[in-house]
Chain A
Amino acid sequence: MLRYLLGRFWQSLILLLLVSMIGFAVLNLAPGGPLSQFSLTPGMTQADLDRIASQMGLDRPLPVQYIDWLGHLLRGDWGRSFRDGRAVLDIIWEHLLATMLLMGVSTAIAIFVGTLIGVLGALKRYSIFDYAATVGAMVALSIPTFWFGLIAIYIFSLRLRWLPAGNMYTIGDGSLGDYAVHLIMPSIVLALVNIAVWSRYMRTATLDVINQDFVRTARAKGLRPRRVLVRHILGNALLPMITLLGLQLPTILGGALVTETVFTWPGMGRLFLDSLGYSDYPVVMGLLMMSAVLVLVGNLAADLTVAFVDPRIRLS
């Protein structure tokens, strides 16, 4: 067990290092590198650019720059925003909670609905419901999230006037109910793709479990069908789903970016696009790195959860 944990930590560290290299490569991709935003300033001469470059240490060899950049990153110094001069990490923290809230609620919806559809599909295999769920999942995977969001806004806020079209709360209200009402549409829109993915995997996982000997034994010894379903089938089928949740994290984060844009949700995705609009590269880079770090941490957490829940790994 301990050996597994250490191995998994070590793996994540290596990945983090590789991720930072890719991030640094992207940063240096801009024509003129990190200096590009200065070269647009009127009256800027090559001599000025060179001076700034040497002040920022950009005339040093790339590996040295990378080590320096990584060192700052590890010490929590992620640079300052071009827009208001505040520390990048502070700005990201402010927007992290909103994104986490959206992702959390949306994922909970996706897990619940996806499990329901997947298990029902597996229990009633090759029924009309199963077939409809299969086709429905493939269509749901193909709908652009932002378009689904626009259609939802058109129907539920512009025509029916049931739900607010965007933002996280009404200015001057901000009660818990108000937050909840604002959460409904974006979280369902973001959940759609994950419901599709989750229900497909859940169907397969349930089918894998359903024909195993211990399920037959449980039935044969006269357990109530509901207990067999919940304890024996669901208990085993949900285990690989924890890993899937970790693997789905990049998709959910990416979907959150788009959803936040459509619903003007004040999270990381919204911040990312705003910063792109202002060419605020330190914040853009910070968010890029943060998103990858979140994914790595999420994957690690998923694997650790499985290790603790699954006695086959826990006791080995």
Chain B
Amino acid sequence: MSQSELLVSARSTQPWWRSRTVRRFARHRLAMFGLAMIIILVLACVIGPFLLPFDDLYIDLRGRFSPPFTGYHFFGTDPLGRDIAARLLMAGRISLLVGFAAMLLSTVFGTVLGIAAGYFGGRIGTVLMRFVDAMLSFPNIFLLLAMAAFIKPSPIMITLIIAATSWMEIARIVEAEVRSLRERDFVVAARMLGLSNSHIMFRELLPNAIGPIIVAATLTVARAILLEAYVSFLGYGIQPPLPSWGNMLNGAQQYLDSAPWLAIVPGAAITLAVTSFNFIGDGLRDALDARSDML
């Protein structure tokens, strides 16, 4: 496809859902699988708890450690006799919500910082990006755990902490993108017109850098869900009785021999959700990458 055709297609009036990008995304089989899985997971977590005959907090000490498919306990019960299926869905609400919220926060922060660093460049840009480098020198999980141990953990705090330790990659991507766009004609023109810095940054540069941001944001959801699972598994994330996919695994290791489903079920849910988001991210990258257009 030639440059002029690209321009035409960008200006054409066809609805967005029939655009080249969307069609290319729809052809990506893994991404479609991921999208379907996420829709199913979200629907199950939103509606599912109303359909199950058990409450996620209902304790039944006589029915402890029931293996999967005992009566209506599709995934069995946990050490307190609570239904694992019910807990899994309620946990999904928390885990997915934390993942999404952390993604939103870190994407906004990373994008603003990245645009500022890339647009202003010079000393400001250097200082900001060195700060990003320094943050990236800490293994994510060490920083996360240290902060979670110092601060009283609540779902909101966990979200904030996860966001605070996962905005750096987006900032890097946006900074590189903006730095390459900064000298392009449309930016130079905007500057000559006397438009304000914030107008150039958020109305001119941001829309042109949106592709990589969307891809990075999708992958950040996957990572945020994983990080929540890690801290909660280690006991410093979401605190019981509130269930999350991570903290359901928290006590699972000691019962691994007698009740392996305690470990298998939530871990499979995490893997499914994270894989799906990674697939979607991969599909978006392929669909939004203009270079694959030119081939």
Contact = CB atoms under 8 A, between A and B. Distances in A.
Interface of A: 14-15, 18-19, 21-22, 26, 29-31, 36, 135, 138-139, 141-147, 150-151, 153-154, 158, 250-251, 253-254, 257-258, 261-262, 272-273, 276, 279, 281, 284-285, 287-288, 291-292, 295-296, 299
A250 B165 CA distance: 13
B136 interface: yes
B38 to A, nearest CB: 13
A295 B278 contact: no
B249 A276 contact: no
**Most B C-beta atoms less than 10 A away, residue of A147, A251, A276:** A147
A139 B275 contact: yes
Contacts of A254: 139-142
B236 A147 contact: no
**Most A C-beta atoms less than 10 A away, residue of B142, B279, B282:** B142
B271 A285 contact: no
Interface stretch (B12-20, B102-110, B255-263): B255-263
Contact of B271 (A14, A147, A158, A287): A147
Interface in B253-288: 253, 256-257, 260, 263-264, 267, 270-271, 274-275, 278-279, 282
Interface residues of B, number: 44
A281 B149 CA distance: 9
Given A250-B137, A292-B138, 19 more contacts: A15-B137, A26-B147, A26-B150, A29-B151, A138-B30, A142-B222, A142-B271, A144-B230, A146-B249, A151-B267, A153-B253, A154-B257, A250-B136, A257-B139, A258-B141, A273-B234, A281-B150, A285-B146, A296-B137
**Most B C-beta atoms less than 10 A away, residue of A36, A135, A142:** A142
A257 B141 CA distance: 8
A254 B141 CA distance: 6
A178 B273 CA distance: 38
A17 to B, nearest CB: 8
A22 B135 contact: yes
A292 B137 contact: yes
A295 B134 CA distance: 10
B252 interface: yes
B226 interface: yes
Interface in B89-146: 130-131, 133-143, 145-146
A261 B234 CA distance: 8
Contacts of B275: 138-139, 142
Interface string B218-261: 00001000100110011010000000000001001100110010
B271 to A, nearest CB: 5
B278 A146 contact: no
A150 B249 contact: yes
Contacts of B230: 144-146, 258
Given A30-B151, A158-B257, A146 B233 contact: yes
Given A153-B256, A261-B234, A272 B267 contact: no
B234 A251 contact: no
B233 A144 contact: yes
Nearest to B132: A18
Nearest to B282: A138
A247 to B, nearest CB: 9
A258 B249 CA distance: 13
A19 B137 CA distance: 7
A291 B139 contact: yes
A15 B142 CA distance: 18
Contacts of A295: 137-139
B147 A150 contact: no
A262 B252 CA distance: 11
11 contacts: A18-B133, A19-B134, A138-B275, A138-B279, A143-B274, A144-B230, A258-B230, A262-B253, A276-B149, A284-B146, A291-B138
Contact of B131 (A18, A26, A287): A18
Given A142-B274, A147-B263, A285-B146, A18 B134 contact: yes
**Most A C-beta atoms less than 10 A away, residue of B134, B149, B234, B278:** B134
Nearest to A29: B150
B37 to A, nearest CB: 12
Contacts of A262: 253
A257 B236 CA distance: 14
B231 to A, nearest CB: 10
Given A15-B134, A253-B139, A144 B278 contact: no
A158 B256 contact: yes
